[in-house]
Amino acid sequence: MTRVAVLGAKGRMGSESVRALHATDGLEVVAEIDVDDSLDLLAESGAEVALDFTQPGVALDNVAWCIRHGIDVVVGTSGFDETKIAEVRALLGDEPATGVLVVPNFSIGAVLMMRFAAAAAPYFESVEVIEMHHPNKVDAPSGTATRTAEMIAAARDAAGSPALPDATTTDPTGARGAKVAGIPVHAVRARGFTASQEVLFGGAGEIFSIRHDSIDRSSFMPGVVAAVRAVTGRPGVTVGLDAILGEDSGSTQS
C-alpha cells in the first residue's frame, strides 16, 4: 500500500485527485494539505509520495521540502518550467535518492497529441500552437503548450528544418502571441473550456491540425494514478507522462 499526500487538496485538480486515489487499490491518501497547512503533516502522516497541485509560486519550495525528507513527488502544478526543473536537479545532486516526476498534462490523449505534433513538425513549413483554458487559470501559456512547443522545436532542430516563415515586423499589442523555443503560442482564456489545445501545421497548398479537448477533469485521473504509482523507484527528475507509459519520446530523465 503506497501512502500518498495531496498538496492543494481543496483545489479543482487536487480534490478530484483525492477522490480518484481513494478509489484506487494499492493507494492510500494519508494527508490532504492545502493553504495554511504545515508541510510537517507530510512527515507526520508517513507519506511516501506527494502529489502537488498547488500554485506555481510555492510548488518548487514544496518539492525541495520533499527532497530533504526523502518523499517522492509528482508535480502537477502548471508553470513548472525548465528553470525550476534545473533547480530540482541541483537539489537532487549527482546521486539522487528521491524521484521527482513533472507532468505538464495528465491526459493520455494530450500526451499522444504532443507526440503526434513532434512527429509531424519536420514535415511542414509552418507551425503554431493555440491553447484554450478556463479563465480561472493563473498562468499562460499552459505547461502543455510550453512542452508541446519545446518538443516541436527539438524535432525540427534534429531534422534541420529552417526557421518558420513570418514577415511580421509590427505587432505592438502582441497579436502574434508568445514565442516558446521559437514556436508561436497563443493562449485563450474563456468560460466553458476545461483544457484544449490545437496545433496548426501549414505547407504549400495544405493545412494540417491536431487537436485535443479535455471536457472534464476526470480525463486526467488515469494519468494521475499512473504517475503516483510510477514515481517511486525512479530517482532523479522525469519529465512527461509518456515516460511512465512506456513511450520515451519527448521525455527526459536525469
The amino acid at 81: D
Q: Which of 34, 186, 7, 210 is nearest to 112 (CA)?
A: 210
Task: Spell out where the chain has E strands.
Answer: 2-7, 27-33, 49-52, 72-75, 99-102, 126-133, 178-180, 183-189, 195-203, 206-214, 236-239, 252-253
Q: Strand 178-180's sheet: what is its strand order?
A: 178-180, 183-189, 126-133, 195-203, 206-214
Catalytic site residue from 133, 134, 186, 212? 133
Is 137 catalytic? The answer is yes
Catalytic site residue from 84, 137, 179, 212? 137
- Decide the pairing of beta strands 49-52 and 27-33: unpaired
- SS3 state at 50: strand
201: CB partners within 8 A, 6+ apart: 120, 121, 123, 124, 126, 127, 207, 208, 209, 210
The amino acid at 202: G
**Residue 215 vs residues 103, 106, 108, 218, 219: alpha-carbon distances, Å:** 19, 13, 14, 9, 8
Rounded Cα distance between 145 and 210, Å, is: 13
The amino acid at 13: M
Is 179 catalytic? The answer is no
Rounded Cα distance between 181 and 228, Å, is: 30
Q: Which residues are catalytic?
A: 133, 137
